[in-house]
């Protein structure tokens, strides 16, 4: 079970913070599917999922507020993701953990959640931070799935986060308006882009990142059997992919009469309305 | 496993979300294609009352569960109730909406029961006993065909407006479902505020590929993040012309942009200027009203998803790079369009 750091408001709150960071292809990189219908990932195009910069930033802010807290950055990805983890560590944080195993290739959201849940348990945490969705596929399923596997609360779509000795409180972007939501620690939190402005790494941070500890876990280290994850455990499959035409449609409608109706119909056809 | 298709309905303060009607309509259609029954699952205050609307969209059954627990906790009680229903009835497919609510609940259910889950689905088709899903990838540059593998119920997450609402008429039988107990370790809702609308609150909507667009904390209402922009130019004739633009923008939940000519004339502040010396924007839809389409303007909006132009001059350059061009008088078309959008949205 996750270990909670001893907390005593008198002597300060030591929070064990883990930020889950996904490595994604850069938004400008040329992307294509390989013959196995899996995204071809090239190491030089890999970046921190831009939305996870908000999770990292929030973790660092918590640490600044509660001196003595620790920030660990956790990623499941290919062995080369160590480079992306170093970039995250350049923003700040104490150490990183990479879960990497050949059997993980092709994992779906639930497989990923199984791995992250096991790694979070092994590391131990008070707060596990996620972004609400990753910029590659905008799935937004991993945080909720990880919480369900751990049987823990997820404070989702946070636009503001505060913690005290025993609980975390967020302001949450609901589908209509906001909620304030509270959960006992340990808890999972997913953040939106509205929560902060991520910092840029400083020169000092970049230098320091090279010396920070970075551990690698295999599936065996987490006690997960290979058939539960990776392509073997995946329940969805890409059948084919095709380029969407970027040609403008160029339809011209002449006259005031019926023009408004044509625009509305066009918006409906294109699923805007 | 049955051939049944369900829709997970969504209630906001007792009000049924529009996406729920879209999901119910599609569930009824797909259940017909697979030769199964259709149902909707409505959880929370207002669930029973929602059954009439859901039934009108064709679902045969509404599993309704009301109880205070649903308004006291996020996701967990919903996931528990839905998971129990799925285990009991083994539907083939459950449609959920790609909303914050839908994703939170579906993710938990999929993880708990080990189900297949797909998201951001834009289109579905039936091939034999399989459902084929079209999902946008890489910012909408590619359309990917997906299918589920393996057995068991599958969870299909649909984008907003992916499916039309079809009020075919009909009424659902309501099956009462007991509410679960409060979770032992829950995310407890302690307050609600800002319910006047998500657009003002920070969630601007969804991009063509389904990702959420948030207003950054530092600069709310950033034009660069807007999903829909209504822009005005010299053709508005004066500052009062922007009132029509603002009305249309309000009806669409859009932000307001402008050409440099309108900004230089002092009709609207510079922060609204789109173009080479203004902002670069990439909304899903850009509606240019009374803008000629100079290259310097195009430099700031040319990569928008869809471009709609309203201009009285059929030779205006903007008609050379739009998806829909209206050759007409904006003073007539824009107010009519505002009224038609409001009517469509049922306002
Ligand atoms: C260095 C440089 C940088 C620039 N940067 C920018 C920039 O960042 N952004 C920018 O926008 N411009 C920029 N410009 C200016 C640009 O060249 C154009 O002058 C400007 O975009 C024109 O604005 P407009 O389309 O509103 O006006 P116009 O070109 O005058 O067009 C007005 C249009 O309204 C139509 N119209 C009039 N009445 C009606 C009616 N009742 N109903 C329907 N249509 C009507 C007309 O047919 C006409 O096509 C820049 C120029 C330079 C040289
Ligand atoms: N492979 C991964 N490694 C670490 N964190 C991940 C991984 N995949 C997803 N996450 C976390 O889950 C969030 C949502 O991802 P997704 O559900 O894929 O959109 C991301 O922003 C990360 O915080």
> Is the C-beta atom of B232 inside 6 A of ligand 1?
no
List residues bridging with B64 in a β-sheet.
B42, B176
pLDDT of the residue at A28 = 64
pLDDT of the residue at B321 = 95
Q: Taking 70 as the threshold, does the pLDDT of residue B196 lie above it?
A: no
The answer to whether A235 contacts B198, with C-beta atoms less than 8 Å apart, is no
The bridge status of strand B324-327 relative to strand A46-48 is: unpaired
> Which one of A110, A146, A197 has the shortest CB-CB distance to B216?
A197
Ligand nearest the Cα of residue B267 is 1
Residue B199 pLDDT class (50, 70, 90 cuts): very low
Q: What is the pLDDT of residues B18-56, one digit of tens each?
A: 899 999 999 999 999 999 999 999 999 999 999 999 999
A108, A158, A193, A243, best to mutate vs chain B, most B CBs in 10 Å: A193
From atom 39 of ligand 1, which residue's Cα is the shortest distance away? B235
Question: What does the pLDDT average to over A87-108?
Answer: 97
More confident residue, B281 or A60: A60
> Which one of B117, B122, B136 has the shortest CB-CB distance to A110?
B117
> Are B79 and B141 a contacting pair, CB within 8 Å?
no
Question: What does the pLDDT average to over B286-306?
Answer: 93
Residue A6 pLDDT class (50, 70, 90 cuts): very low
**What mean pLDDT, rounded, does chain A reach?**
90
- A267 and chain B: CB distance < 8 Å anywhere? yes
Shortest-distance atom of ligand 2 to CA A129:
23
Question: What does the pLDDT average to over A245-249?
Answer: 82
Which of A212, A186, A251 minimizes the C-alpha distance to A17? A186
Compute the C-alpha angle B257/B263/B267, nearest 5°: 95
Token pair of A168, please? 């975390």
- B165 and chain A: CB distance < 8 Å anywhere? no
Q: Taking 90 as the threshold, does the pLDDT of residue A236 lie above it?
A: yes
State what percent of residues in chain B have pLDDT above 70: 91
Q: Taking 70 as the threshold, does the pLDDT of residue B213 lie above it?
A: no
More confident residue, A112 or A30: A112
State what percent of residues in chain B have pLDDT above 90: 71
Q: Taking 60 as the threshold, does the pLDDT of residue B184 lie above it?
A: yes
Which of B287, B235, B283, B299 minimizes the C-alpha distance to B262? B235
Residue B289: its H or E element: strand B285-289
Compute the C-alpha angle A161/A172/A170, nearest 5°: 25
Q: What is the pLDDT of residues B129-153, one digit of tens each?
A: 999 999 988 767 788 999 999 999 9
Q: Taking 80 as the threshold, does the pLDDT of residue B319 lie above it?
A: yes
pLDDT of the residue at B118 = 97
Residue A99: its H or E element: strand A95-99
Shortest-distance atom of ligand 2 to CA A131:
21
Q: What is the pLDDT of residues A18-62, one digit of tens each?
A: 999 999 987 666 667 777 777 666 666 789 999 999 999 999 999
For residue B257, what are the contacts with CB-CB under 8 A and spacing of at least 6?
B223, B229, B230, B231, B232, B272, B273, B274, B279, B281, B286, B301
Length of chain A: 273
Q: Minimal Cα–Cα distance from A59 to chain B, Å?
A: 17
For residue B264, what are the contacts with CB-CB under 8 A and spacing of at least 6?
none
Question: What does the pLDDT average to over B326-346?
Answer: 94
Tell me, rounded to whole angstroms, the distance of Cα B156 from its chain centroid. 15
Length of chain B: 347
pLDDT of the residue at B36 = 98
Question: What does the pLDDT average to over A254-269?
Answer: 96
Q: What is the pLDDT of residues B150-168, one digit of tens each?
A: 999 999 999 888 898 899 8
- A34 and chain B: CB distance < 8 Å anywhere? no
From atom 12 of ligand 2, which residue's Cα is the shortest distance away? A142
Q: Taking 80 as the threshold, does the pLDDT of residue A91 lie above it?
A: yes
The bridge status of strand A251-254 relative to strand A70-76 is: unpaired
> Are A84 and A47 a contacting pair, CB within 8 Å?
yes
ipTM, two decimals, is 0.84
Whether the ω angle into residue B344 lies within 30 degrees of 0, i.e. cis, is no
Q: Label residue A254 left, alpha or beta by phi (over 0 means left) and psi (-120 to 50 means alpha).
A: beta
For residue A238, what are the contacts with CB-CB under 8 A and spacing of at least 6?
A33, A37, A38, B144, B145, B146
Which single residue is written with the structure tokens 């389409």? B293
B103, B106, B160, B304, best to mutate vs chain A, most A CBs in 10 Å: B103
Of A6-10, A43-47, B91-95, B221-225, the range with the lowest mean pLDDT is A6-10
Of A209-213, A218-222, B198-202, the range with the lowest mean pLDDT is B198-202
Which chain B residues are Cβ-neighbours of A31 within 8 angstroms? 137-138, 141-142
List residues bridging with A47 in a β-sheet.
A24
Q: Taking 70 as the threshold, does the pLDDT of residue A271 lie above it?
A: yes
- A246 and chain B: CB distance < 8 Å anywhere? yes
Residue B210 pLDDT class (50, 70, 90 cuts): low
**What mean pLDDT, rounded, does chain B reach?**
90
**Span from the CA of B291 to the centroid of ligand 1 (angstroms):** 5
Question: What does the pLDDT average to over A121-150?
Answer: 95
Shortest-distance atom of ligand 1 to CA B329:
42
- B181 and chain A: CB distance < 8 Å anywhere? no
pLDDT of the residue at B218 = 32
Tell me, rounded to whole angstroms, the distance of Cα B68 from its chain centroid. 27
Shortest-distance atom of ligand 2 to CA B107:
17
The answer to whether B344 contacts A152, with C-beta atoms less than 8 Å apart, is no
Tell me, rounded to whole angstroms, the distance of Cα A104 from its chain centroid. 17
């Amino acid at each position: 079970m996750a270990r909670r750091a001893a907390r005593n408001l008198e002597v300060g709150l030591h929070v064990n913070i883990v930020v889950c960071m996904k490595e994604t292809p850069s938004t400008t990189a040329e992307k294509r599917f390989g013959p196995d219908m899996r995204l071809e990932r090239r190491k030089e195009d890999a970046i921190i999922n831009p939305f996870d910069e908000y999770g990292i930033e929030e973790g660092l802010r918590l640490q600044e507020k509660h001196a003595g807290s620790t920030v660990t950055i956790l990623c499941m990805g290919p062995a080369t993701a160590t480079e992306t983890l170093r970039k995250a560590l350049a923003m700040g944080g104490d150490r990183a953990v990479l879960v990497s195993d050949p059997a993980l290739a092709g994992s779906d959201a639930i497989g990923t959640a199984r791995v992250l849940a096991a790694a979070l348990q092994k590391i131990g945490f008070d707060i596990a931070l996620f972004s609400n969705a990753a910029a590659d596929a905008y799935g937004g399923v991993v945080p909720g799935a990880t919480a369900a596997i751990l049987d823990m609360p997820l404070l989702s779509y946070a636009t503001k986060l505060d913690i005290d000795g025993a609980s975390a409180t967020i302001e949450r972007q609901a589908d209509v308006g906001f909620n304030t939501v509270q959960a006992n620690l340990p808890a999972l939190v997913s953040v939106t882009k509205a929560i902060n402005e991520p910092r840029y790494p400083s020169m000092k941070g970049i230098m320091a990142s090279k010396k920070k500890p970075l551990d690698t876990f295999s599936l065996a280290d987490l006690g997960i059997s290979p058939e539960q994850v990776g392509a073997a455990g995946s329940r969805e499959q890409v059948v084919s992919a095709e380029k969407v035409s970027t040609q403008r449609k160029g339809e011209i409608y002449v006259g005031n009469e019926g023009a408004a109706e044509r625009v509305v119909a066009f918006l409906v056809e294109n699923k805007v309305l | 496993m049955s051939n049944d298709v369900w829709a997970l309905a969504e209630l906001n303060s007792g009000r049924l979300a529009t996406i729920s009607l879209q999901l119910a309509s599609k569930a009824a259609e797909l259940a017909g294609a697979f030769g199964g029954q259709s149902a909707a699952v409505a959880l929370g205050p207002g669930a029973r009352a929602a059954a009439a609307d859901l039934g009108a969209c064709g679902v045969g059954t509404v599993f309704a569960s009301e109880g205070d627990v649903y308004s006291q906790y996020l996701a967990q009680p919903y996931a528990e109730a839905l998971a129990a229903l799925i285990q009991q009835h083994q539907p083939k497919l459950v449609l959920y909406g790609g909303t914050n609510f839908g994703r939170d609940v579906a993710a938990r259910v999929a993880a708990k029961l080990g189900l297949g889950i797909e998201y951001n689905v834009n289109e579905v088709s039936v091939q034999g006993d399989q459902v084929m899903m079209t999902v946008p990838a890489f910012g909408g540059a590619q359309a990917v065909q997906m299918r589920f593998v393996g057995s068991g119920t599958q969870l299909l997450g649909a984008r907003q407006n992916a499916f039309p609402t079809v009020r075919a008429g009909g009424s659902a039988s309501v099956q009462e479902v007991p509410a679960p107990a409060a979770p032992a370790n829950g995310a407890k809702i302690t307050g609600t505020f800002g319910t006047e609308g998500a657009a003002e609150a920070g969630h601007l909507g969804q991009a063509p590929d389904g990702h959420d667009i948030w207003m950054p904390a530092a600069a709310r209402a950033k034009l660069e993040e807007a999903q829909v922009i209504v822009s005005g130019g010299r053709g508005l004739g004066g500052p009062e012309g922007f009132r029509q633009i603002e009305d249309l923008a309000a009806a669409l939940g859009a932000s307001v942009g402008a050409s440099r000519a309108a900004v230089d004339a002092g009709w609207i502040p510079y922060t609204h200027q789109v173009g080479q010396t203004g902002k670069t924007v990439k909304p899903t839809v850009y509606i240019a009203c009374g803008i000629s389409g100079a290259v310097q303007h195009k430099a700031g909006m040319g990569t928008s998803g869809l471009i709609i132009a309203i201009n009285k001059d059929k030779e205006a350059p903007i008609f050379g790079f739009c998806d829909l061009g209206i050759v007409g008088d904006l003073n007539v078309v824009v107010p009519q369009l505002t009224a038609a959008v409001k009517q469509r949205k049922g306002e």
